[in-house]
């Protein structure tokens, strides 16, 4: 990727045609509400595109076409190997359009272009390919019975699947959900965040080009109102939601008020990195920690935003982390050497700044950063607060920005107590060179993923999701992801029914 230059990015950007309408029934469609919203480039504050927003009746139209294609069997009843072939073509087309999609994602979200080229776009493609490859190798089960019965346990697609996505990994979250939802034969209505709608629309075009039948993948555009219409729709069988805990709660209510659709929630996190006195090389730990809090400008539900460190090594590690954060290059996201771009938008930037003020006001020690940069766009410095205590707001609430808190632990038990002292439970890291402690303590941390001696969310092969208020109802990634989008059916056949005389 070293050959990709700033000028390449600029010339691709100049040639882009911005999608501007919802994608329903295999093509762009005029939204009926007659209103539009703006997609803004967070690096400049300039408007990138005006996109027509859907009304609840457009959501109805999208669900109706998804339901009709599901029932027609054009996708749901295809031979699994044919669905696989089409989805592999979809993944291939994403890779073929890598540079265009990466520039679009970077412009729309502020992500550094190198991340888009090496992570967001290729991982979206490989995730879809992985689920495509898996699904024609999954067998149903036969229950143990006596010889007079056959008990089959089969998995069936649900029907119309609603996917409601956040803005922090627009393409990758779409890939995490579209891969298993489509591979298992469902039809989909996807609502991207209104702040990052563009790549989802391009993906839908590529899906049709790959041969996914029109109406199997629909994109509805707009704000929370569109998510609400999807959440309340009686023909939607499951909503897989990734976003804030607050909006996640609303989806439970939409389900209660409508058809008791299944709700899968992947929500926020306030994840701890626990560093014990016998941690490995502290330069390495500092690099991992800087990566965890700064990648995607800290706008990552899985970032380790609370460092909990044994007091014997706290000063040394804090110094190294501040130095490591200082090495991250902030700048124009389309410049390939940039590692830190802007945060996603004006409101989010304002919100992060409130936390920066709160941290100072509540008595934390600012070790570095702490300000928005005086330049166009929404750039926040890499920030580390030291001497943070559990009563402080910055310790408790998800900031979703490049802001790390450091808290001292007296001993291992205290460290685990601090790690678990949160309403969230998405991910955690644990650093120790004692294999016994690694095993024992990783089991005592209440989180869906615990990485030991590194910062990692796992890979496509391992399930991802939260404990406590970080969510429930299913997992993304791994074969577990297929369970979100399928129903278990038992078919019980009596093999010894008495014959009817004469038949």
Q: Which of the residues are catalytic? A: 266, 301
Beta strands in 234-356 (DSSP E): 238-242, 262-266, 271-275, 304-310
193 binds, among Mg ion, ligand NAP, none (CB under 5 to 8 A by kind): ligand NAP
51 binds, among Mg ion, ligand NAP, none (CB under 5 to 8 A by kind): none
- Of 292-351, binders to Mg ion (CB under 5 A) are none
**In the complex, what is the shortest distance from the CB of residue 484 to ligand NAP, in angstroms, rounded to a whole number?**
13
227 binds, among Mg ion, ligand NAP, none (CB under 5 to 8 A by kind): ligand NAP
Strand partners of residue 1: none
108 binds, among ligand NAP, Mg ion, none (CB under 5 to 8 A by kind): Mg ion
> Applying CB under 6 A, which residues contact ligand NAP?
164-168, 191, 193-194, 223-224, 227-228, 231, 242-244, 247, 250, 266-269, 301, 398, 400, 426, 466, 471
**Chain center to CA of 242:** 6
39 touches Mg ion (CB under 5 A): yes
432 touches Mg ion (CB under 5 A): no
Q: Give the nearer residue to ligand NAP in terms of CB position, either 4 or 169.
A: 169
Count Cβ atoms within 10 A of the Cβ of residue 42 and give its class: 0-12 exposed, 13-18 middle, 19 or more buried: buried
Q: Give the nearer residue to ligand NAP in terms of CB position, either 181 or 279.
A: 181
- Of 192-221, binders to Mg ion (CB under 5 A) are 195
108 touches Mg ion (CB under 5 A): yes
Backbone dihedral angles phi then psi of residue 304, each to the nearest 5 degrees: -85, 100
39 binds, among Mg ion, ligand NAP, none (CB under 5 to 8 A by kind): Mg ion
105 touches Mg ion (CB under 5 A): no
Beta strands in 234-372 (DSSP E): 238-242, 262-266, 271-275, 304-310, 365-368
Taking contact as CB under 5 A, which single stretch among the options 37-45, 93-101, 229-237, 315-323 is the one that binds Mg ion?
A: 37-45
Q: Give the nearer residue to ligand NAP in terms of CB position, either 267 or 318.
A: 267
Q: How many CB atoms lie within 10 A of CB 278?
A: 14
386 touches Mg ion (CB under 5 A): no
Q: Give the nearer residue to ligand NAP in terms of CB position, either 10 or 252.
A: 252
Q: Give the nearer residue to ligand NAP in terms of CB position, either 398 or 408.
A: 398
Q: Is the dihedral of CA 26, 28, 30, 32 positive or negative?
A: positive
Instruction: Encode 61-116 in three state secondary structure.
Output: HHHHHHHHHHHHCCCCCCCHHHHHHHHHHHHHHHHHCHHHHHHHHHHHHCCCHHHH
Taking contact as CB under 5 A, which single stretch among the options 80-88, 101-109, 387-395, 481-489 is the one that binds Mg ion?
A: 101-109
**In the complex, what is the shortest distance from the CB of residue 88 to ligand NAP, in angstroms, rounded to a whole number?**
25
The SS3 of residue 230 is helix
Number of residues that bind Mg ion (CB under 5 A): 4
**In the complex, what is the shortest distance from the CB of residue 104 to Mg ion, in angstroms, rounded to a whole number?**
10
**In the complex, what is the shortest distance from the CB of residue 396 to ligand NAP, in angstroms, rounded to a whole number?**
14
> In terms of DSSP H, where are the helices of 381-503?
393-396, 412-420, 435-444, 480-484
The SS3 of residue 451 is strand
Sort strands 427-431 and 271-275 into parallel, antiparallel or unpaired: parallel
Torsion, CA 140, CA 145, CA 150, CA 153, rounded to 10: -30
Residues that bind Mg ion (CB under 5 A): 39-40, 108, 195
């Amino acid at each position: 990727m070293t050959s990709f230059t700033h000028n390449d990015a600029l010339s691709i950007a100049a040639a882009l045609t911005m999608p501007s309408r919802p994608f329903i029934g295999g093509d762009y469609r005029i939204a009926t509400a007659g209103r539009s919203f703006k997609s803004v480039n967070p690096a400049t504050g300039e408007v990138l595109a005006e996109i027509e927003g859907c009304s609840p009746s457009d959501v109805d139209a999208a669900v109706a076409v998804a339901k009709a294609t599901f029932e027609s069997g054009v996708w749901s009843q295809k031979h699994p190997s044919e669905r696989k072939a089409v989805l592999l073509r979809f993944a291939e087309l994403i890779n073929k359009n890598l540079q265009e999609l990466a520039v679009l994602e970077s412009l729309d979200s502020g992500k550094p272009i190198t991340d888009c080229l090496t992570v967001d776009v290729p991982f979206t493609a490989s995730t879809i390919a992985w689920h495509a490859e898996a699904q024609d190798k999954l067998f149903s089960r036969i229950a143990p019975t006596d010889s007079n019965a056959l008990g089959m346990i089969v998995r069936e697609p649900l029907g119309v699947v609603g996917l409601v996505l956040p803005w922090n990994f627009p393409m990758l979250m779409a890939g995490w959900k579209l891969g298993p939802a489509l591979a298992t034969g469902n039809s989909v209505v996807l609502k991207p965040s209104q702040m990052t709608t563009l790549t989802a629309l391009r993906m839908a075009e590529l899906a049709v080009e790959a041969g996914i039948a029109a109406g199997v993948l629909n994109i509805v555009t707009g704000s929370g109102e569109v998510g609400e219409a999807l959440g309340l729709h009686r023909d939607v069988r499951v909503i897989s939601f990734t976003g804030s805990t607050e909006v996640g709660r609303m989806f439970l209510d939409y389900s209660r008020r409508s058809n008791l659709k299944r709700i899968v929630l992947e929500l926020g996190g306030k994840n701890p990195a626990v560093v014990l006195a016998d941690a490995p090389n502290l330069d390495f730990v500092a690099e991992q920690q800087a990566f965890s809090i700064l990648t995607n400008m800290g706008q990552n539900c899985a970032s380790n935003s609370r460092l909990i460190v044994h007091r014997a090594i706290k000063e040394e590690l804090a110094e190294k982390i501040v130095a490591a954060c200082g090495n991250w290059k902030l700048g124009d996201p389309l410049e390939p050497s940039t590692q830190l771009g802007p945060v996603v938008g004006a409101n989010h930037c304002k919100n992060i700044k409130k936390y920066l003020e709160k941290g100072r006001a509540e008595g934390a020690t600012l070790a570095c950063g702490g300000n928005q940069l005086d330049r166009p766009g929404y750039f926040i410095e890499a920030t580390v607060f030291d001497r943070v205590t559990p009563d402080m707001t910055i310790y408790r609430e998800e900031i979703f920005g490049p802001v790390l808190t450091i808290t001292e632990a007296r001993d291992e038990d205290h460290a685990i107590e601090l790690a678990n002292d949160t309403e969230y439970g998405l991910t955690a890291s644990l650093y120790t060179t004692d294999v016994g402690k690694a095993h024992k303590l990783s089991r005592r941390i209440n989180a869906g993923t615990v990485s030991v001696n590194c910062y990692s969310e796992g890979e496509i092969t391992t399930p991802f999701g939260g404990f406590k208020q970080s969510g429930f109802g299913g997992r993304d990634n791994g074969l577990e992801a297929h369970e979100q989008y399928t129903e278990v059916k038992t078919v019980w056949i009596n093999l010894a029914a008495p014959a009817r005389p004469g038949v």
